[in-house]
């Protein structure tokens, strides 16, 4: 076998790799639909995989030790991961010289689309207005909405301008917004290219009508967004989180949302997930929680596999690739 599908949850292979994509991989990568394995199957018969050069995977890609990789995959050249972060499995493979390609850019697209949609609605006061109308307080809803600036000349704050944050910034160029950004790893050159002004977290929370979190998920960002920042939010401001729930001190956010009933929080992620029934955020009518839907789902997941097919073709043809993961990238990658 030259190529295999590898995932502990085999249903994820069928979810991400459509029949059309599987047909393409059969032709382009000599990858048979039946060449699909779990970690248990690989470890049970390691010699069977000695000639495998390419692995195609997605969510539930297993982690192997250095010794297991040497025994099971001595010929492996590259892994094409049709999903986002590779933090859970990449390093042992990379230490063996295996190239890792990730569809993080493809997975970033729907998150950026979701975020921009929420920003546009938030600037119109959509969320609180809906709640007020449902409570038969239509006049208050109208007053609230009119107090919001709309989508002309509004200040938007982006916390993190990695792949997703950058996509959001690019899409916001279509609007007449002023975009502030906090990102210690962003150069002035990149900020200028994106059309954002780099500044402190405090300034973002003090000045921006909508604040959107796109921080990478690592130990340094855990609990980074706290009461001292949330209390700085302007009247009628909105906080959006599509990053990670652990980056927000949720009791602090709940306290501020109670103290500022005109503020809004839109949370697509919580900590833990799913959210516990006793979480105080659930009791607040100015907090809107979705079940982690911003990322790729339904037919959107096929985009990730298509990105990896193109990377495979470029890599095996000796052409330039776009989405190979480096050790340096792992330091800040979500």
More confident residue, 334 or 295: 295
Which pLDDT band holds residue 330 (cuts at 50, 70, 90)?
A: confident
pLDDT score, position 216: 83
Instruction: Residue 299: count other Cβ atoms within 10 Å of its Cβ.
Output: 8
**What is the CATH number for 42?**
3.40.50.720
Whether residue 172 is found in the same domain as residue 312: no
Nearest to 261 by CA among 229, 291, 283, 279: 283
Whether residue 112 is found in the same domain as residue 247: yes
pLDDT score, position 76: 98
pLDDT score, position 328: 87
Whether residue 140 is found in the same domain as residue 178: yes
Nearest to 225 by CA among 187, 259, 180, 271: 271
Whether residue 127 is found in the same domain as residue 61: no
Nearest to 243 by CA among 162, 298, 155: 162
For residue 179, pLDDT over 90 is answered with yes
pLDDT score, position 32: 95
Averaged pLDDT for residues 7-33 = 96
Reported as type and span, the H/E element at residue 153 is strand 152-159
Whether residue 225 is found in the same domain as residue 133: yes
List pLDDT tens digits, range 94-120.
999 999 999 999 989 999 999 999 999
For residue 121, pLDDT over 90 is answered with yes
pLDDT score, position 333: 72
Percent of the chain scored above 90 by pLDDT?
94
For residue 141, pLDDT over 80 is answered with yes
For residue 212, pLDDT over 80 is answered with yes
Whether residue 231 is found in the same domain as residue 311: no
Enumerate residues 6+ apart whose C-beta is below 8 A from 222.
Answer: 246, 247
Q: What rounded mean pLDDT belongs to the chain?
A: 96
Whether residue 98 is found in the same domain as residue 28: yes
Rounded to whole angstroms, the Cα distance separating 214 from 107 reads: 13
Whether residue 141 is found in the same domain as residue 255: yes
For residue 332, pLDDT over 90 is answered with no
The number of distinct structural domains making up the chain is: 2
List pLDDT tens digits, range 257-269.
999 999 999 999 9
Whether residue 11 is found in the same domain as residue 87: yes
Query: Which domain does 147 fall in, by range?
Result: 108-289
Give burial (CB, 10 Å; 0-12/13-18/19+) of 4. Answer: buried
pTM here is: 0.86
For residue 318, pLDDT over 90 is answered with yes
Whether residue 70 is found in the same domain as residue 138: no
Whether residue 283 is found in the same domain as residue 267: yes
Whether residue 131 is found in the same domain as residue 229: yes
Instruction: Residue 90: count other Cβ atoms within 10 Å of its Cβ.
Output: 22
pLDDT score, position 331: 79
Averaged pLDDT for residues 224-231 = 98
């Amino acid at each position: 076998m030259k190529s295999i599908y590898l995932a502990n949850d085999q249903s994820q292979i069928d979810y991400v790799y459509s029949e059309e994509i599987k047909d393409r991989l059969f032709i382009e990568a000599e990858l048979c639909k039946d060449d699909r394995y779990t970690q248990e199957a690989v470890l049970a018969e390691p010699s069977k995989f000695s000639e495998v050069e390419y692995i195609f995977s997605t969510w539930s890609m297993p982690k192997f030790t250095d010794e297991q990789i040497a025994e099971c995959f001595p010929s492996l050249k590259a892994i094409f991961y049709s999903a986002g972060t590779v933090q859970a499995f990449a390093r042992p493979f990379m230490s063996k010289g295996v190239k890792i390609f990730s569809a993080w850019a493809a997975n970033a697209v729907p998150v950026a689309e979701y975020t921009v949609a929420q920003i546009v609605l938030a600037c119109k006061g959509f969320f609180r207005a809906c709640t007020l109308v449902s409570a038969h307080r239509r006049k208050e809803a109208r007053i609230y909405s009119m107090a919001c600036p709309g989508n002309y000349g509004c200040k938007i704050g982006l916390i993190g301008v990695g792949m997703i944050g950058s996509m959001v910034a690019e899409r916001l160029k279509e609007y007449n917004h002023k975009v502030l950004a906090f990102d210690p790893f962003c150069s002035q050159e990149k900020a200028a290219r994106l059309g954002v002004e780099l500044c402190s977290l405090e300034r973002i929370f003090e000045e921006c009508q909508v604040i959107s979190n796109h921080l990478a998920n690592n130990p340094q960002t855990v609990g980074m967004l706290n009461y001292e920042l949330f209390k700085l939010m302007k009247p009628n401001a909105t906080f959006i989180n599509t990053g990670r729930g652990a980056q927000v001190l949720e009791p602090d956010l709940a306290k501020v949302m109670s103290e500022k009933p005109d503020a809004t929080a839109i949370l697509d992620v919580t900590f833990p997930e799913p959210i516990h029934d006793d979480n105080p955020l659930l009791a607040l009518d100015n907090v809107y929680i979705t079940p982690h839907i911003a990322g790729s789902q339904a037919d959107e997941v096929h985009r990730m596999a298509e990105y990896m097919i193109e990377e495979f073709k470029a890599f095996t043809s000796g052409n330039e690739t776009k989405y190979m993961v480096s050790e340096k990238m792992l330091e800040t990658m979500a």
